[in-house]
Amino acid sequence: MRAEEVRHRISTPLTTPVYPPRATRFTDREYFNVVYRTDPEALRAVVPEPLEIDEPLVRFEVMKMGDVEGYGPYLECGQVIPVRHGAERGEYLHAMHLDNFAATAAGRELSAYPKTVGTPALFPDNGALIGTLDYGTQRVATASMAYKWEPMDLEEARAQITVPTYGVKIVPELVCALARTEITDVTVKGAWRGPARLELFAHVMAPLADLPVREVISASHILTDLTLAPAVPVHDYLAA
């Protein structure tokens, strides 16, 4: 294989790519979000500079991907943290657990998504929307919300989905950078809000409970079609 051919490959293994070399389109991507208040000290321990925290809030999310080009259906669960980067408000991607290897590899290699293994679930159950995360055989998180309790303004829902996001991209000895991305191509097909509860359970390999739940602030259930956007470096830790 010539050097020119190697330069045009996008992933490891060199001869067996696991994801397509193009933007990913999601159809019927379903979000279950629970925003909660946590301990300020716990947030300061995990949010990297130059990002700043105004309020000690966390958004726990479960996402069900109905149809994804190049990957097929899968589920994802994690935590994001409202932050500021200069004057811009956004969210820091703290943790993501998936049940799809190709999507995990693409998120880590192409972008700055902190993706790792896990078994999320999202389903209706006797008048409630249930979101869970298991790591191996152990339960890590359980969230519940009254099912489609109250219609939510679609523009408000769209604003939640399109907020700028930040993550740390690390390739040892080569890259250590804060990256920014923002979804702009999104169609909101339905959105609801309602009362919710959230429990987090301690696990060393999925430490979501290190950001403990002190008060549930709000919850939403959103159905969308969208296309992911590329990540752009905004801070080089190696240069700093």
Give catalytic residue positions.
Answer: 115
The helix (run of H) or strand (run of E) holding residue 94 is strand 88-98
Q: What number of CA atoms fall less than 13 Å from residue 166's CA on the CB side?
A: 22
**CB-based contact 51:17 (threshold 8 Å):** no
Closest CA to 53 of 84, 80, 79: 84
- 40 in Cβ contact with 123 (< 8 Å): no
Sign of CA dihedral 106, 108, 109, 110: positive
